[in-house]
Amino acid sequence: MKRPRIGGDEQDAFSRHWRHLLHWRPGERKALKKQANKRDRKAAKRSIEEESR
């Protein structure tokens, strides 16, 4: 399942084509991925909590 992307920077950082064409500062793509993973974990935690209620 593809994750929904928030913003153009995330779109560019995760796409195979654009991530190689753009210049990224050291750690910038990792920070974007970290934010996206955190958002995914929070959403999963919320859905599990809703199911248990």
Alpha carbons 40 and 33: distance in angstroms, whole number: 10
pLDDT score recorded for residue 42? 94
Q: Distances in Å between the alpha carbon of 39 and those of 18, 26, 48, 53?
A: 22, 22, 14, 22
- SS3 letters for 9-21? HHHHHHCHHHHHH
Band of pLDDT at residue 48, cut at 50, 70 and 90? very high
pLDDT score recorded for residue 1? 55
Query: Encoding tokens for residue 53?
Result: 């209620």
pLDDT tens across 9-36, in order?
888 888 888 888 889 899 999 999 999 9
pLDDT score recorded for residue 18? 86
